Amino acid sequence: MAELRSAPLLCLLVFVPVVILTEIAAPEAHTLLFVLSVLAIVPLAALLSRATEAVSARTGDAVGGLLNATLGNLTELVIAFAALQAGQYLLVKASIAGAIVTNTLFMMGGAFLLGGLKYHVQEFNRVSARFQACLLFLATVAMLVPSVIGSVDQGADISHPLSLGISLILIAVYAMGMLFSLKTHRELFASVAEAAEEHGNWPLSTSITVLVVVTLFVALISEVFVGSVQVAAEQMGMTPAFVGFIVVALVGAAAEMTTAFSAARANRLDLSVGIALGSASQIALFVAPILVVISYFIGPEPMSLQFWPGAVTMIFIATMAATLLSNGGRGAWYVGVLALAVYSIFGLTLFLLPPSTPS
């Protein structure tokens, strides 16, 4: 009961068996399966986040940072794996772009707004935020280059080897970035206000068991989600691009958003900004390149980093917004309104004028 009071999202776990039973009883009810799978993934993401924090609290900063890097966006990664196996590359790319934009604009903007409504001005570590913004800028360049090459030079098909090479570079840069922030220059990334540890009370064995079991359930529910998303999206007047960019991103980041918003209301904007930008840079420099590499083994064909122009533009604008928001090291509620307004414009545009074909 204490767990349910501290994390109300866990009440939605009841939808996990409901999804499995519905898939067995009515496999053609795509819209119902889509809605139920969304409701089931949210609490599973919350449990993954909870268990990851508990494991990280018991393994030290370096190992904990590595765990957060690999498991912090596990929900999005598992969903993307399922879509990758199904050959739905537009959904995969839309979910990658959407996760970056959602974490940067919606999560950080919401934290600024909610924290600013309670506190006049809040402060956060400007160095850490700028570091993450720089990583996002690098990722934007990495996605821009294959997209520009693909649209300009149609004769030479170099998008796949170029994307693979860029992905390996991004993974290496991200690994060195973790070494920089967790080891050699860790003093630069100290929080302005240290947050009290709230999730270190689970035994290590319990945390690892929860991670394994919940990951299996996420994989199972993700297969149902990906299998129903195309038909359900058409019936609900949406496209896979909108679903990936908005729905998958919001669902996958639900647990992180809860933590970020709660931290902002507790005057821990430093923690909120770290979660938002850290998660975005993880997706851009770790999750996306890993998906490109894995596509050579589990996908119908290799996936490239060639996105449609609108997605690259939105990622670039979100990166610039992250740079501007983190420039002063202080936050207020109206800054959050501006970030949320940009995100709303993107969502409305995708809903009304989605990309017609994957790039």
Q: What is the pLDDT of residues 325-342, one digit of tens each?
A: 877 778 888 989 999 999
Q: pTM of the full predicted structure?
A: 0.81
Q: Is the pLDDT of residue 107 over 60?
A: yes
| 59 exposure class (CB count in 10 Å sphere: 0-12, 13-18, 19+) | middle
Q: Is the pLDDT of residue 302 over 60?
A: yes
Report d(CA 141, CA 154) in Å as an integer: 20
Q: Is the pLDDT of residue 169 over 80?
A: yes
Strands annotated E in 23-173: 122-123
Report d(CA 94, CA 246) in Å as an integer: 8
Which pLDDT value is given to residue 195?
44
**pLDDT > 70: percent of the chain:** 83
Report d(CA 123, CA 332) in Å as an integer: 9
Which pLDDT value is given to residue 149?
77
pLDDT band at 199 (very low <50, low <70, confident <90, very high): very low
Tokens at 258, concatenated: 């809860």
Segment 185-209 shows an average pLDDT of 64
Which pLDDT value is given to residue 72?
61
Cα 121 to Cα 105, 127, 202, 322: the distances in Å are 19, 18, 35, 18
Segment 7-34 shows an average pLDDT of 84
Report d(CA 16, CA 36) in Å as an integer: 8
Cα 240 to Cα 81, 91, 119, 235, 358: the distances in Å are 15, 6, 39, 12, 10
Mean pLDDT of the chain: 80
Which pLDDT value is given to residue 357?
46
The model's pLDDT over 223-273, given as tens digits with 9 standing for 90+, comes to 888 778 778 877 887 776 788 788 888 877 777 787 788 888 888 888 788
Of residues 66 and 110, more confidently modeled: 110
Other CB atoms within 10 Å distance of the CB of residue 29 = 16
Which pLDDT value is given to residue 67?
60
pLDDT band at 105 (very low <50, low <70, confident <90, very high): very high
